[in-house]
Amino acid sequence: MFIINCPYCGERDQTEFSCGGEAHIERPKQPTELSDDQWAEYLFMRKNIKGIQFERWNHIHGCRKWFNVVRDTSNDKIHAVYKMGERPPIK
């Protein structure tokens, strides 16, 4: 069970958070102009990598803010935490 450094509250236990899946998947601004395939790409396709993954997390039992986490899924090491709308601090 890992510790997440919430950008608003500081370090808290993982049990206070919920994971919202892959980060940086923007909802299309004009969905009606997309083909079925393009829409399906947004709707269904998610990465599940062993290694560095960019994820959305929500401090659901705390400030309820969403933010982004860069996590190595092979060892749960968290490399960076940054707010929504910010650029990832690492590639």
Partner 1 sequence: MSNNLRINKNNFIDQTVRISFKFNGKKLFGYKGDTLASALLANNIHLVGRSFKYHRPRGIMTCGSEEPNAIVQVDKDPALTDPNVRATEIELYEGLEAFSQNCWPSVNFDIGGINNFLSPLLPAGFYYKTFMWPASFWEKYEFFIRHSAGLGKSPTKPDKDLYDHQYVHSDVLVIGGGISGILSAKLAAEKGLNTMLINDKSYLGGSTIYQDDDIFKIDNETSNVWLKKQIEELKKIPNLKIKNRTSVAAFHGYNYLLARENLTDHLSAHERKEKIRQRLLKIRAKKVVIATGAIERPLIFNNNDRPGIILSSSIKKYIDYYGVKTGENISLFTNNDSAYETAISLIKSGVKVKVIIDIRENSNSILSDKIEKTGTKILRGYTITNTGGYKRINSIDVMKLSKDGGSVIGNKITYKCDCLGISGGWTPMVHLFTQSGGKLKFRNNDNVFIPDENKTPSEQISVGSSNGDFELDDVINNTIKNIKIFLGLDKNKYENLDIKCSKEKQKRNIWLLPSNKPISKTKPFLDFQNDSTAKDVKLALREGFKSIEHVKRYTTTGMGTDQGKLSNMHALGIIADTTGTNMGELGTTTFRPPYTPLTFGAIVGRNVGEFFDHTRRTAIHDWHVENKAEFENVGQWKRPWYFPKNGETMYQAVQRESKAARESAGILDASTLGKIDIQGEDASEFLNRVYTNAWSKLSVGKCRYGLMLNEDGMVYDDGVTTRLGENHYIMTTTTGGAANVLSKLEDYLQTEWPELNVYLTTVTDQYSTMSICGPNSKKIIKKIIPSLNLSDESFPHMSFKNSKIDNVNCRIMRISFTGEHSYEINVQSNYAKDVWEKCINAGKEFNITPYGTETMHLLRAEKGFIITGQDTDGTLTPSDLQMDWIIGKKKYDFIGKRSLYRSDTIREDRKQLVGLLTDDPKEVLEEGAQLVESLEKPIDMLGHVTSSYFSPNLNKSIALAVVRSGKKLKGKKLIVPMENKNINVTITDTVFYDKENKRLNA
- DSSP secondary-structure letter at 7? T
Rounded CA-CA distance 47/53 in Å is 8
3 near partner 1, judged by CB under 8 A: yes
**CB half-sphere exposure, 16, CA atoms < 13 A:** 16
Give dist(CA 19, CA 5) in Å, integer. Answer: 14
* Cβ 44 to partner 1 shortest distance, Å: 8
Q: Is 26 in the site for partner 1 (CB under 8 A)?
A: yes
Q: Which of 22, 39, 55, 62 binds partner 1 (CB under 8 A)?
A: 39
Contact between 84 and partner 1 (CB under 8 A)? Answer: yes
Report 56-75 residues binding partner 1 (CB under 8 A). 56, 58, 60, 64-66, 75
